[in-house]
Structure 1
Amino acid sequence: MAVSNVNSNTGTNATGNSLAASSAEELSNRFLTMLTAQMRNQDPLNPLDNAELTSQLAQISTVTGISQLNTTMQWLGYSMGSLQATQAASLIGRKVMLSGDGLTLADGKAEGGYVLSIPVESAELVVKDADGVEVARKKLTDVEAGVHTFTWDGKNAKGDTLPDGDYKFEVQVGEGTKVGAAPPLSVTQITSVRPSSGSTTVVDAKGNLVNLSDVYQVW
């Protein structure tokens, strides 16, 4: 499973962090050695100025601090990526609802959803086949603002059961004399996780990549 790819990076990150720490420590030690030699060999009649000494010590602190900050940021980035991948792995086998107008009919049942930003007077599901031809309509009762779900029994206007497969849909809404369309939400099942450097995506049963930020609901 793809989550193992995240775990396999542990050795690489640990090595990188170790090298960064070693490099910072080595640089700091060199700086201190040079400063010590400078103080030993200074002219007793013209000793090292306190302001200059403070400045050089501050440089050591800055170099070490920046390296530690970089190491910390790398660790945080790795930890966040691992956490996100772990959370995404919990979605495997579950259904999610995300932006899209796909509607899959299986065993005489299809699920979908829609978003209403404001209450409307009416809402109606319109189902179309692969050619864009309308094959069914259904009145929807959820007309308040929010995210809503629906089920379709796969039957057309004549009551005939249509074959299982992929369809498209839209939700037409009405408010007075105005007619519009609500943003559609498609339901799919997650089968695997695919972590990457930028973000973690999941893969559905059809092999489509799903960005976690596009998911509205999980069940």
Structure 2
Amino acid sequence: MAVSNVNGSTGTNASANSLGAASAEELSNRFLTMLTAQMRNQDPLNPLDNAELTSQLAQISSVTGISQLNTTMQWLGYSMGSLQATQAASLIGRKVMLSGDGLTLAEGKAEGGYVLSIPVESAELVVKNADGVEVARRKLDDVEAGVHAFAWDGKDGKGNTLPDGEYKFEVQVGQGTEVGAAPPLTVSQITSVRPSSGSTTVVDAKGNIVNLSDVYQVW
């Protein structure tokens, strides 16, 4: 659906380009008509000053250039929108990492991620249930700067398998004597694309509307 909507804007692009070209040509013709009349009716004893004529020519050149620039920018906007929609359509059915602390446990497996802006000395995954109670904790090996993914086997600290469902998590990091939390990333699957006048968004399996700029990783 997204592709057909985008392709359908081709006629609009052509109309916009034609309108912009017509406007620029109309401005030029109007100026030349006025300039010809002005020169024809000028006082022979006080002819049109060369500097004034040059100034008027520069003005019409600027106006025409701005009109053409606006047309070009409009065309680029349509082109970028089409490209963005095409990229979004390619995400359907694929997993992505987005900002969020949700962790979905299904068949004894859950996936998530986190972002480190700088290297740290330690990182630890802390999983909590719907009531906010900690149910699992384990060390993470990826401590370098960048986007990292992890998998959780759904087991608590005693090795017991927890029921499938929705959990929350955080990644606690340590650097020297400082302790903090890394931005969490939730994993979801893209189910559809939703084009709009401003930008193109995608919808994940939970019905959340996601901007393409919020996608950290795709696989």
The 5-angstrom pairing of residues 138-217 of structure 1 reads 138-175=138-175, 178-217=178-217
Task: Within 5 Å, give how 1:47-62 maps onto structure 2.
Answer: 47-62=47-62
Corresponding residue number in structure 2 for 1:33:
33
Cα displacement string for residues 54-106 of structure 1 (whole angstroms, at most 9, x for unaligned residues) = 22322321221111111111111221222222222222221111221111112
Q: Which shows bigger deviation, 71-80 or 42-51?
A: 42-51
- The within-5 A match list for 1:1-150 is 1-150=1-150
TM score, norm. by length of structure 1: 0.87
Q: CA RMSD in A?
A: 2.2
Matches of 1:57 and 1:176 in 2, distance apart? 68
Distance 1:10 1:118 in 2: 45
SS in 2 for 1:80: helix
In 1, Cα distance between the equivalents of 2:117 and 2:71? 44
With the length of structure 2 as denominator, give the TM-score of the two structures. 0.87
Kindly state the Cα deviation for residue 175 of structure 1 after the two structures are TM-superposed. Answer: 4.2
For residue 58 of structure 1, what is the amino acid of its counterpart?
A
Secondary structure in 2 matching 1:61: helix
How many Å apart are 1:192 and its aligned residue? 2.0
**Could you tell me how far apart the structure 2 residues matched to 1:180 and 1:51 are?**
68
User: Comparing 38-47 with 147-156, which one deviates more in the overlay?
Assistant: 38-47
Q: Structure 2: which 5+ residue stretches go unaligned?
A: none
Contact 2:202 2:211 in 1 (8 A): yes
Superposed CA deviations along residues 6-55 of structure 1, whole A, max 9, x for unmatched, are 33333223223322221221222122122222323334444333223222
Structure 1 50/94 Cα, relative in aligned 2: closer, same or farther at 3 Å? same
Instruction: Kindly state the Cα deviation for residue 111 of structure 1 after the two structures are TM-superposed.
Output: 0.5
Q: Distance in 2 between matches of 1:183 and 1:18?
A: 48
How many residues are matched?
A: 219
> Residue 178 of structure 1: CA displacement?
4.4
The answer to whether the 8 Å contact 2:2/2:89 transfers is no
Q: Secondary structure at the match of 2:37?
A: helix
Q: How far apart, in 1, do the equivalents of 2:38 and 2:113 lie?
A: 74
Identical-residue share of aligned pairs (%): 90
